[in-house]
């Protein structure tokens, strides 16, 4: 049993397979994104309220949220849709196929996201696995930039809306954020705290849009820590929210991105070598010309 601080400021006791205490930023509408561990990796997952999870049913009220593979990206989507929106017929295929066919009853496929939608990534795009694909839950929409929460691995990340093959939208969802402006960081809330600011300021000051933007954190966040910190392998992966090769994105979630600047570095060294060779040949020609003139 562990204590989990949910994103709208309440504390709830939640049972989970790995005995994990989930950070506030890894909740979406009060429902936590759990990390994998050895105990969960090959197991089914059951839940009775969206927070408590087990590898076996606890009896009446418990539903299967993942048939195998533990806390997959699809597990969080199943659990969120079931307990936030009472949608219990979400797709049971791999994430790559969630846009195939008609949307489940009570849902629609859309091309524009709101808070609470399921983003279904284009398989292979945005560092996702081309075979398994990936899904996550949309938290914040800022133009064509989305902040999403997902599992496998459990993280909050920033992506472009163009990463989506489609969005699965619950018809009953009007996009309202139940956080009501309460910052997840625990810092004092201010009037400028809106849905555009997820409530985790990187500056340490009062929670506001000015203190917590992509300008202040140009590589975005690829997990609980700011990209580039010692807890995130110390390297940004290029586009906002994409991990580096040492960030160990795998499985349903993401493949590691290409090491940024690697090819560019080799090109630069080749250019230097070519330029140095040309300079040496020019000096040799000048010296031969001077020698003939002296003779």
pLDDT, tens digit, for every residue of 8-58?
333 344 899 999 999 999 999 999 999 999 999 999 999 999 999 999 999
**pLDDT value at residue 247:** 34
- How many degrees, rounded to 5, is the angle at CA 160 between CA 69 and CA 104? 50
Write out pLDDT tens, residues 115-128. 999 999 999 999 99
**pLDDT > 50? residue 225:** no
The two structure tokens encoding residue 282: 């020019």
178 — pLDDT class (breaks 50, 70, 90):
confident
Mean pLDDT value across the chain: 72
Tell me the pLDDT tens digit for each residue of 233-286: 333 333 333 333 223 333 454 333 333 333 333 333 334 344 545 555 656 665
Q: Which runs of E-coded beta strand occur in 34-181?
A: 45-47, 53-54, 63-66, 107-110, 118-121, 135-142, 145-150, 155-160, 164-170
Q: Which of 88, 94, 90, 98 is nearest to 68 (CA)?
A: 94
What is the tens place of the pLDDT at every residue in 59-82?
999 999 999 999 999 999 999 999
Please tell me the predicted confidence (pLDDT) of residue 17. 97
> What whole-number distance in Å separates Cα of residue 140 and Cα of residue 158?
9
Q: Where are the alpha helices (DSSP H) in 89-152?
A: none
Between CA 132 and CA 90, with CA 150 as vertex, the angle to 5 degrees is: 65
If pLDDT is split at 50, 70 and 90, which confidence band does 230 have? very low
43 closest CA partner among 64, 27, 22: 64
CA 42 to chain centroid? 22
Task: Please tell me the predicted confidence (pLDDT) of residue 221.
Answer: 36
Could you give the C-alpha distances from 144 to 41, 140, 141, 163, in angstroms and in order? 34, 11, 7, 10
Between CA 35 and CA 53 the distance in angstroms is: 12
């Amino acid at each position: 049993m562990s204590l989990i601080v949910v994103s709208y400021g309440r504390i709830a006791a939640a049972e989970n397979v790995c005995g994990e205490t989930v950070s506030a930023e890894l909740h979406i509408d009060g429902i936590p994104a759990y990390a994998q561990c050895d105990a969960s990796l090959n197991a089914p997952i059951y839940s009775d309220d969206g927070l408590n999870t087990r590898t076996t049913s606890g009896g009446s009220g418990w539903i299967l949220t993942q048939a195998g593979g533990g806390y997959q990206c699809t597990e969080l989507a199943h659990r969120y849709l079931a307990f936030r929106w009472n949608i219990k017929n979400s797709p049971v295929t791999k994430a790559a196929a969630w846009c195939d066919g008609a949307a489940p009853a009570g849902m629609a496929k859309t091309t524009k996201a709101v808070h609470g939608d399921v983003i279904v990534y284009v398989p292979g795009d945005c560092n996702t696995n081309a075979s398994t694909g990936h899904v996550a839950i949309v938290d914040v929409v800022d133009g064509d930039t989305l902040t999403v929460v997902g599992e496998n691995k459990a993280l909050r990340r920033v992506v472009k809306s163009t990463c989506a093959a489609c969005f699965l939208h619950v018809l009953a969802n009007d996009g309202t954020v139940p956080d009501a402006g309460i910052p997840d960081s625990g810092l004092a809330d201010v009037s400028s705290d809106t849905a555009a600011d997820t409530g985790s300021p990187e500056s340490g000051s009062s929670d506001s849009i000015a203190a917590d933007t992509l300008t202040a954190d140009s590589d975005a966040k690829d997990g609980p820590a700011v990209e580039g910190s010692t807890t995130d392998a110390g390297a940004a992966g290029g586009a906002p929210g994409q991990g580096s090769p040492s960030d160990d994105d795998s499985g349903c979630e993401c493949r590691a991105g290409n090491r940024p600047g690697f090819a560019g570095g080799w090109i630069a060294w080749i250019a230097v070598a070519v330029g140095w060779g040309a300079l040496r040949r020019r000096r040799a020609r000048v010296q031969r010309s001077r020698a003939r003139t002296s003779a």
